[in-house]
Amino acid sequence: MTRRNSRQPPTPALRTTALMALSLLLAHAALASALQAQDYVPKRSRAKIDRVDITEAPNVRIFATALDAKGLPLSPDKLKAAYIACNGKELPAKTVINTFADTNESLDIAVVLPVSHRFSQDELQLMKEGLAAVMGQTRDTDRVAAFIDNGKGIDITPLGPADAAAGAVGKASPQGGGAFLYSGIERAIRELTDNKRDKTKRVIILVTDGFDTENFIPTVVRNNIMRLYNEARDADIHVFVVMYKPIIKDLVPFFEGLSRKTRATYREAVSTDDIVRSVKYAWGEVFGQLVIEAKLSGIKEGDSCAFSVTLEREFGANIEARAFPAVTFEELRFDWIRFAIIAGIIVLALLLALIIFLIVRKIVRKRRAKAASQEQEALQAKIDAGQICPTCQRTMLPDWTTCMFCAREGAKDAGKAKDAGKAKDAGKAKDAGKAKDAGKAKDAGKAPPDEGKPCKSCGRTMMPGWTECLFCKAGIGAGAAPMPPGQAAMGAAAMAPAAMAAPAAAPAAGAGAAPQGARICPKCKREMKAHWDVCLFCEAGL
């Protein structure tokens, strides 16, 4: 009896699923290992912000120290860029990286050095030569002081040229076996504080083994270190410590704290070469301090900003410096330099435009003068040839002896003058007639009623206001129209009594009696003539 195997072979889909699960497990394990190992990767390169200068805001200068894995200061040549952040937000500002040596700020530096029997002659000689060489690298504006602990006391070289301090270090020799560490640091702080200068960086480089003859108990050392730290912080003095073979290991944290809290660097040396090397590093850190300059935009007075810096290296990971304590922009400085540059560019452009304008105008005037001269010469030539009228500058026909244009315009002007004269004379005559009529009317109004001009037809005197002879109109005058029969009979009847009464009335009139047969117009109340059948005054409109 044969047995059959009940297990079925794995299908391709099952194999694929198993491989995928195994791959995921391996990837997860590798990622966990990498994350766990990341905590053990040493971060040797470091950076810190030492100071932020906003006195010329919105221009900002950030003084930072960047050290590589060996503790050497990073130079700007090894940095690709620097990025500035304000309150954690990166600012879109263009940065320029320089060093402290490139600035116009001065440096006051004090070197505190033990020269005692605790060091061998070879160690002292190497240390003095190395320090003297380092001091010779200062600038003309820098000052150096030396405080040498010779085992018997403190030999002081005050602030001055670096040569004097270097000479004092080179001539120093041990005088005893004591140590006066804290006295040397205290006197160095006092020297830098009493001789303070504006825009000056103050630094102390302390080379020590941490031993002081009078103070070696940890609690006493801690109190002294705290006192010196407060004095250095108030005076803005940076204390760089180079620890050489410390006698009491428990004192090391105090000196390290003194260096860190004054924004400096703590280094340890195990040999004389390390002492010189560490002093060189400290010296290079002071002069090679990075100065990151940027012009910020959008900053207003009263704004506060906690600056942080990220340095991008040419090769290697970026270096980040943690945020500096917040600073407040009390006053923003007006950018006079930029204003002067813009104003100068505008003035130069205007002057250039003025010069170009004057040159072009001169050229155009010359061309116009030349063209006008040529045109005048051509016109004069035509005039001389008889082709152009010299008066109206028009072209004449060859057979003209005189310019017909000028003759025609002269005739027009004469006609216009004649018409104007006639119109003027007519106006004067009209005005004279009006004045004469007005005068006559005025005189007629003043003259008595019987003073008038005689009628040309009947010869009777007409009233001054009459426009026609009312006698003739009434059929009384010689040239009068025949009157209607009724009016003629009435007129004859009226005239007969008047004619008969005339001789009799004469004597009475001469005697002053009232005229006989006088009639009064009931309308105008004037005396009517005897032969009037109607009132001629009313008929005349008087």
58: left (phi over 0), alpha (psi -120 to 50) or beta: alpha
Q: What is the pLDDT of residues 15-25, one digit of tens each?
A: 667 666 666 76
pLDDT level of residue 502 (50, 70, 90 thresholds)? very low
Q: What is the pLDDT of residues 90-143, one digit of tens each?
A: 998 899 999 998 888 899 999 998 887 777 888 888 888 878 888 888 888 999
Structure tokens at 6: 């009940």
Pairing of strands 237-244, 79-86: unpaired
Global pTM? Answer: 0.55
Pick the CATH number of 103-282 from 3.40.50.410, 3.20.20.70, 3.40.50.1000, 3.40.50.720: 3.40.50.410
* Range in 47-56, 360-369, 409-418 with the lowest mean pLDDT: 409-418
Can you point out the beta strands (E) in 87-151? 89-90, 95-99, 106-114, 143-149
* Range in 49-63, 92-106, 113-127, 348-362 with the lowest mean pLDDT: 113-127
Tell me which residue of 225, 213, 228, 214 sits closest to 118, measured CA to CA. 213
Q: What is the pLDDT of residues 293-339, one digit of tens each?
A: 998 888 888 899 999 999 998 877 789 998 999 999 988 877 788 78
Separation CA 359–CA 338 (nearest Å)? 31
Tell me which residue of 387, 307, 302 sits closest to 88, measured CA to CA. 307
Q: State residue 498's pLDDT score.
A: 39
pLDDT level of residue 438 (50, 70, 90 thresholds)? low
Domain boundaries, the chain: 46-93+296-328, 103-282, 337-364, 378-405, 454-501+516-542
Instruction: Count the residues in the chain.
Output: 542
Percent with pLDDT over 70 in the chain? 74
Q: What is the pLDDT of residues 262-285, one digit of tens each?
A: 989 999 888 878 888 888 888 888
